[in-house]
Amino acid sequence: MSLVDRLISEVDDDGMLAGLVRGQAYLHSFGITSWQDAIIGGYADLRDAGATYLRADAEGLLTGRVVGALWWDRTAGLEQIDSLVERRERYRSANFAATSVKIMQDGVAENFTAAMLESYHDGHGHPTDNSGISFVPPEVLDVAVPRLDALGFQVHFHAIGDRAVRQCLDAVEHAIAANGRSDNRHHIAHIQVIHPDDVPRFRALGVAANMQSYWATLEPQMIELTIPFLGEQRSAWQYPFGDLQRAGAVLAAGSDWSVSTPDPLAAIHTAVNRTAAPGHEDGDYPPFHPEQAIDLATSLTAYTAGSAWVNHREHDTGTVEVGKLADLVVLDRDPFAGPAAEIGATRVLQTFVGGNRVYAADDA
């Protein structure tokens, strides 16, 4: 991508605002009324979007309700905490609050940078000398998370591999030991591989499981780039949503857009069926570990009430109740009334935020 990036002009403030407004309209078209932006700050030369959110809100353009996750600089250490506190106070408006900190603890499995407890295989079942990368050393993480927790920050962890998941849980355990239990609602996103011993710790430590359900399918990337290098046992530990539900973990859900589609209904379809939604298939594959499927009500709740809880908005959003804000989505069908295999074909016809219509399909 750098071959092209170097030829692209830097995006100015007006370009950032236009991009935010266009992205917001796209999210509204999928029935999304609120979200958590996982990167507010420098990452891969991206501009800090905090000022853009403030400007959009001041100009009446921000219709979504947004929590910003301030980016933890992996090249720095604890000295950045004062800056995070300052930006949290500055990045605050009616519809935007940067109250979370994003810590990217590891990479991804496909290029062998997800942090694993045991080494990757070489594709023929033989162990290698690579077990992935922990971007934040555990000795730093175990100090940083208690400090952030004490300052009232929520920590939004990225953890793909089982070692990264364990390190994040360990850091929260250190925070509880240091500060007692808080209502900061730390959550671990992606959770592709979780060691079975760590599944019950989500409930025990009060850490929400932030699922990207759309990824829990068999498809060429999984078959060619992941399973051969994880091996049979670890491959069976992937996306264990059913085990997390049975263990009593709080389930929240998101998309990691623009890595993949933000469509919640396509992801809900996969959570229930463990197959790709109609129109999202890349081949005809059997369900991926169907024992880890969750029912429609549980999945839908994770994408509504669960995410509202993570964003500390369950008092006024996430469910349809008297006295709550009229953040409503009109679908073209009742997904509970038809077969599970058709959940992903459900379309959004209208989206309302606070009673105001922010999206209408052509046939609405």
pLDDT along the chain (364 residues), means of 10: 85 94 98 97 75 97 98 95 97 98 98 98 94 98 98 98 98 98 98 98 98 97 96 97 98 95 98 97 94 98 98 97 97 97 97 98 91
Q: How far apart are the first and last CA of the chain?
A: 39
**Position 38, amino acid:** A
The pLDDT of residue 6:
84
Counting Cα atoms < 13 Å in the Cβ hemisphere of 189 gives 27
pLDDT at 345: 96
Q: Quick one: pLDDT at residue 47?
A: 73
Q: What is the pLDDT of residue 19?
A: 95
Preceding peptide of 83 cis, ω within 30° = no
- Which domains occur in the chain, in start order? 36-43+69-326 (3.20.20.140)
The DSSP bridge pattern shows strands 328-331 and 348-353 to be antiparallel
Q: Which DSSP letter does residue 222 get?
A: I
pLDDT for the residue 42: 74
**Cα of 163 vs its chain's centroid, Å:** 18
The pTM for the full model equals 0.95
Q: Using an 8 Å Cβ cutoff, are 303 and 268 in contact?
A: yes
Residue for token digits 């989500």? 202
| Residue whose C-alpha is closest to residue 110's, from 220, 245, 264 | 220
- pLDDT for 346 equals 97
By the 8 A CB rule, do 178 and 151 touch?
no
pLDDT of residue 2: 81
Give CA–CA dist 154/158, Å, rounded.
13
pLDDT value of residue 123: 86
Strands of the sheet containing 328-331, edge to edge, are 328-331, 348-353, 356-360
pLDDT at 273: 98
Per-residue model confidence (pLDDT) at position 100: 98
The reported pLDDT for the residue numbered 46 is 65
The Cα diameter of the chain in Å comes to 59
